Structure 1
Amino acid sequence: MAIQILPAQLANQIAAGEVVERPASVVKELIENCLDAGATRIDIEIDKGGAKRILIRDNGSGIVKDELSLALSRHATSKIDSLDDLSAIATLGFRGEALASISSVSRLSLSSRTLEQEQAWQAQAAGRDMQVSLQPCAHPVGSSVEVLDLFFNTPARRKFLRTEKTEFSHIDELLKRLALSRFDVAVSLKHNGKLIRQYRISKELYKQLKRVSTVLGVPFTHHCLHLDNQHDQLRLHGWLGLPEVARAQNDQQYFYVNGRMMRDKLLQHAIRQAFAPYLGDDQHACYVLYLELPLDQVDVNVHPAKHEVRFHQARLVHDYIVQVLGSALSKIPQANQTAELYSHWTNETSDNDFSTPSVSHGYTATPAPRASSPTSVSTGGDNRHAYQSNLHRAEPPSVQELNANNQWLNTSASFTSNSASPAVKPAAESVLYPLHLEANGYLLARHQQQLVMIDVWASQQHLAFKQALEQWQQGLDSVPLLLPLKLNIEPDLLNLVKQQNDSLRRLGFSFNLVNKQQLIVAQVPKLFRKVDFALLIPSLLLAMSQLPDSEWQQPEALLSGLIKLQNKPNDFAWQQAVECCQGLQQIYADELPSTFWRLVDLSPCIAGFANE
């Protein structure tokens, strides 16, 4: 066979093999054209999963009449015009193949009008040589592309299309990814004439979180961390799902590089490495992340579908992502930082930001009190090595720390003797009423018509001891750690964990042995969840290794030691003071142990007024 130039239609169909894989591929290419044209509204209509009809309409800049025929030609584009542009691509599309490839395997019509034109025009390409014909039409400013009978002239491709439901699910997933890439664009999706999705423009952060909720679900928005980090010319921001919402499949992972959605191996490896201390091998993190860097530092022209990129400084980008995410995960507060944003929009009764088939709100989660740390986790700095912070993997405590905490066995007396302390006698007014809280944990309260000062911290410890003692027979209530903690432990202490596993479970602890030197702390006693377990557990095991077996069943020493290892907070919340008063009142009624209170003598103050 002689060498010859392929006909235009055949060449376009060959190119379409890479560009047009299924109806979702058509939708992707056309929506990217809309975004490159500056559209702020995109309407999508799908019939029969896209096999019968795809219509995409936008309000972008439009195409002038003289360029419509070129728009349907191969390698015709307005997005680049030199080799230098190819090394710094700012648009989603740039090859000039999409419309020509789509028109070669379907019946395509392109209608468009610019702001300067009074008349809109429609272009169609047909025939062996793909000749373009133009005719006037009615159309607002912007463009519309209608694709009919996809693969009608390539039966081999058409028979490989899946069911209508499957093909539409691919389009729906694609739209979710595009919706998360541009919060400044309104998007609607119809299937067989029925409105399926509608995303409104979301400029405020809480409205953006609302759009995220429609894609990833309400549980994600209850348990995610918003971060925004910039270092030199690199910026990483978005939402990071906490380990507790990890999934068995990777269907909630959305990563964007300069606004382009990606599934790049380098990026996925960096994220997996950051989450490695917190997730099992069969768990996948959930996230919506955006990486921004100079255009000339990334090459997007390495994959036919542009799903992969090549970074000029791949190691720098990889390490930057690992360190930023690792730092953010290691600083996760107990309070969910997105709770305030989420409650903001869930309490709104005004115009909704989106319309979508009923999203289940059956998931219940009570947002914790607002954390003192900011929502945006930022570790900015000029030194690249500033990001080389440790991941959340605790090291063994020092010998000094172990020796200091080894005294816990001798601390039980202060708890067990409180019940014998002198008590306030009953009186007509017996309610313990909080009045004023000092920041260092001392509460001014009224009790039996007297002013008393209460040590909130000592009271909290005593109440915790009483509650733990009541739970001892059935075992202390336990809760999973927000971030499972991996500890390096001496082999002898690991053997102790195996031997006394039942007793440790009774205390509320659950351990998973990794190897001969490491264990993972899975669950901890609910009463002591604020303890520094990286320090407490090695100290606890070391002290218990010195106990006779008979004392393993004695709750007083074990429980009081655990409570004493809690660190006193720097600040106390008013709610803590109220709960403390309620707890003391419930247990002791009118006979409040004098260990926790002191009578406030007002006579010096009164005398001071008298002497003025």
Structure 2
Amino acid sequence: MGIQILPARLANQIAAGEVVERPASVVKELVENSLDAGATRIDVDIEKGGAKLIRIRDNGCGIDKNELTLALSRHATSKVSTLDDLEAIVSLGFRGEALASISSVSRLLLTSRTAEQEEAWQAMAEGRDMAVQLQPASHPQGTTVEVADLFFNTPARRRFLRTEKTEFGHIDEVLRRIALSRFDVSITLRHNGKPVRQYRAGTLPSQHDKRLAAVCGQAFVSPSLKFDSEHHGLRLWGWLAPASAARNQPDVQYTYVNGRMMRDKLFNHAVRQAYGERLPAEGHAAFVLYLELDAHEVDVNVHPAKHEVRFHQARLVHDFIYQVLQQTLEQEESAPAGSAEQTETIGFSGEPDAGYDAQYDSAAVSSAPRYTPAGHGYGKRPERSDSALSQRQWQGVDSLMTTLPKEDNAEPPAVTPAGAPADGAPLLLEQNRVLVVRYRERLWVCELNLASAWLNGRALLAAWQQGLTPQPLLLPVRLSLPAGQKHLITTHEALLQKLGLELKTGPGDTIILTRVPQPLRHADLARLFPELLVRLEQEEARRPDALCHWLTQQAIAREEWNWQRATVLWQQLLPELSEPLPEFMCPVDLQPQLNRWIYGD
């Protein structure tokens, strides 16, 4: 097929995949358009969770009759016109894709009137044809957008919609977030004709508190700390719950940048660092935070759904947020009872926090065990029917040398790595966990996960000898140690520090891991650390080589490999191999050992 320009309707369908994820996405885009139009009142009517009808009415500036058809075209917008505008975006919308994308997957009716027009006009567009029809209508100043039968022409997308209750819940949450971004706008929400939410506009602090209570609940508002701080063009204000008011789930965590709602990793890291050890083991912070800065200092065009931003001075912004929140919490702890509700203006030193790693935002750490597909986990014996299959599978494996590669074979041809001996080419990936290779004129099986751990162990030992540099975890790991193990931390404190493990003592038998060496950043630390303490009680296990080998074995990712990754690993292994060969290299005639590797016998 030759290169061609996509038809407008097909391009809109593709764009709709990013913009219109579910009914809540439609509500978000349309309400943000209303806010950009200067509306002070927005009415939202939903039927059947948004699948049947979404109606958004506002009292904004409206759309001129001559621009109604253009408004439903892709990349048509009144919010940016030059590159300079794109570098300092102050509006919520700017791409000009929302209306076109929505109209391509629904029956859309757009009615609007400006202050200069004597009558309103209505534009209708339905599905892929995108043919827009105009007719006069009766409507006050402002705009009403009706989106009916969402995904009526894309049945596959419609099947992905959840129940009516679930979809309406997502719409409700979107409007909650928007309601907290604009206290000066009245917002009402109705579902199937019944009023559900009504957020009244207000400019006084007491009115702000009422809306905050309507969205977050009085349980958050009563103990929360209100603050407002400015420093060198940055302003952070909002509400922060003290550690004593921690919640059981992260359901009250709202962040805004220049009035734009988002879930930002920088915010989350700074908040978590500010709370430090104050939060209980199973508690979650609660906050509503507003960051204001020069539009030139933040890029909002970095995410398809505009949920993330990129700061030009990310470290400065992070440390500003961290220090303001930390000082707010410290002042609450030291203030007399009853004084915490006063608005505090917090100073900021401007000095970067020494504990902050600029790489935190590109390294996410999870303490959850990795998922292993059923039937492929280590330590699991295969079913009886599979045992016979595995025996047959490896019979005559030497004949692969004469049969590979074939033109119809799905595996890539043998590749000789640069600088490797001629017999060092990997031949076949079996079970997605082992690689059959020809090495020193003999056929071998290389167990990939063990080989990866062996390489990591050598890297960890080399780093040990040079002095391990611990790296901060994005989220510190809290561990509840078994009874009687906490004293082992003091006993082996020097060795733990040499391993690059930094931790703090929490309440009771709880400890908090804050930094770990690079090879262990993605390990299951909640499981690994207690086992490490037990192992350190054994004299032989404390040898650097034995300890590094054990750590990397435990931190192994039990996963399936593809051909490209396996080939790269083999290229890395070749220069390191020496006699005797490591345990992950097995001649194919040693069937029992092979079975033990693959099936955990």
**Secondary structure of the structure 2 residue equivalent to 1:384:** coil
Alignment match, 2:22: 22
CA distance in structure 2 between the partners assigned to 1:47 and 1:23 by the alignment: 11
CA distance in structure 2 between the partners assigned to 1:319 and 1:261 by the alignment: 20
Superposed, 1:277-356 pairs within 5 Å as: 277-332=277-332
Shift of residue 119, structure 1, vs aligned partner: 0.9
**Secondary structure of the structure 1 residue equivalent to 2:132:** strand
Alignment match, 1:222: 222
Shift of residue 311, structure 1, vs aligned partner: 0.2
Alignment match, 2:256: 256
Alignment match, 2:92: 92
- Checking the alignment, whether the CA contact within 8 Å between 2:244 and 2:279 is kept in structure 1 is no
1:387-418 CA deviation, whole Å, 9 max, x = no partner? 86999xxxxxxxxxxxxxxxxxxxxxxxxxxx
Shift of residue 376, structure 1, vs aligned partner: 2.2
CA distance in structure 2 between the partners assigned to 1:206 and 1:335 by the alignment: 23
1:32-65 CA deviation, whole Å, 9 max, x = no partner? 0000000000000000000000000000000111
1:384 pairs with 2:350:
yes
User: How many residues of Structure 1 are paired with residues of Structure 2 in the alignment?
Assistant: 370
Alignment match, 1:8: 8
CA distance in structure 2 between the partners assigned to 1:327 and 1:380 by the alignment: 8
Alignment match, 2:41: 41
- Checking the alignment, whether the CA contact within 8 Å between 2:41 and 2:59 is kept in structure 1 is yes
CA distance in structure 1 between the partners assigned to 2:239 and 2:211 by the alignment: 12
The one-letter code matched in structure 1 to 2:292 is E
- Checking the alignment, whether the CA contact within 8 Å between 1:106 and 1:148 is kept in structure 2 is yes
Alignment match, 2:508: 512
**Secondary structure of the structure 2 residue equivalent to 1:131:** coil
Alignment match, 1:105: 105
1:5-56 CA deviation, whole Å, 9 max, x = no partner? 2221111011000000000000000000000000000000000000000000
The one-letter code matched in structure 2 to 1:92 is L
Shift of residue 334, structure 1, vs aligned partner: 7.3
- Checking the alignment, whether the CA contact within 8 Å between 2:256 and 2:262 is kept in structure 1 is yes
**Secondary structure of the structure 2 residue equivalent to 1:178:** helix
Larger relative contact order (CA 8 Å, sep ≥ 6):
1
- Checking the alignment, whether the CA contact within 8 Å between 1:7 and 1:129 is kept in structure 2 is no
The one-letter code matched in structure 1 to 2:214 is T
**Secondary structure of the structure 2 residue equivalent to 1:135:** strand
Shift of residue 282, structure 1, vs aligned partner: 3.1
Q: 1:330 to 1:126 in 2, by over 3 A?
A: same
Residue ranges of structure 2 left out of the alignment (5+ in a row): 357-486, 492-505, 513-601
RMSD in angstroms over aligned alpha carbons? Answer: 2.7
1:544-599 CA deviation, whole Å, 9 max, x = no partner? xxxxxxxxxxxxxxxxxxxxxxxxxxxxxxxxxxxxxxxxxxxxxxxxxxxxxxxx
CA distance in structure 2 between the partners assigned to 1:187 and 1:227 by the alignment: 26
**Secondary structure of the structure 1 residue equivalent to 2:248:** coil
Shift of residue 126, structure 1, vs aligned partner: 3.5
CA distance in structure 2 between the partners assigned to 1:219 and 1:126 by the alignment: 46
The one-letter code matched in structure 2 to 1:384 is G
Superposed, 1:390-405 pairs within 5 Å as: none
CA distance in structure 2 between the partners assigned to 1:285 and 1:157 by the alignment: 36
- Checking the alignment, whether the CA contact within 8 Å between 2:224 and 2:341 is kept in structure 1 is no
CA distance in structure 2 between the partners assigned to 1:127 and 1:380 by the alignment: 55
**Secondary structure of the structure 2 residue equivalent to 1:512:** coil
Superposed, 1:439-518 pairs within 5 Å as: 512-514=508-510
**Secondary structure of the structure 2 residue equivalent to 1:206:** helix
The one-letter code matched in structure 1 to 2:85 is D
- Checking the alignment, whether the CA contact within 8 Å between 1:327 and 1:389 is kept in structure 2 is no
With the length of structure 1 as denominator, give the TM-score of the two structures. Answer: 0.58
- Checking the alignment, whether the CA contact within 8 Å between 1:125 and 1:132 is kept in structure 2 is yes
1:402-449 CA deviation, whole Å, 9 max, x = no partner? xxxxxxxxxxxxxxxxxxxxxxxxxxxxxxxxxxxxxxxxxxxxxxxx
The one-letter code matched in structure 1 to 2:265 is K
- Checking the alignment, whether the CA contact within 8 Å between 1:299 and 1:309 is kept in structure 2 is yes
CA distance in structure 2 between the partners assigned to 1:127 and 1:240 by the alignment: 45
Alignment match, 1:142: 142
1:156 pairs with 2:148:
no
1:494-526 CA deviation, whole Å, 9 max, x = no partner? 99xxxxxxxxxxxxxx9625569xxxxxxxxxx
Q: 1:128 to 1:322 in 2, by over 3 A?
A: closer
Shift of residue 124, structure 1, vs aligned partner: 1.4
Residue ranges of structure 1 left out of the alignment (5+ in a row): 337-367, 392-490, 496-509, 517-612
Runs of 4+ with deviation above 4 angstroms: 333-336, 387-391, 513-516
Superposed, 1:424-443 pairs within 5 Å as: none
CA distance in structure 1 between the partners assigned to 2:49 and 2:341 by the alignment: 44
1:117 pairs with 2:83:
no
Shift of residue 131, structure 1, vs aligned partner: 2.2
Percent identical residues: 63
Shift of residue 380, structure 1, vs aligned partner: 3.3
- Checking the alignment, whether the CA contact within 8 Å between 1:188 and 1:198 is kept in structure 2 is yes
The one-letter code matched in structure 1 to 2:263 is R
Larger Rg: 1
- Checking the alignment, whether the CA contact within 8 Å between 2:324 and 2:347 is kept in structure 1 is no
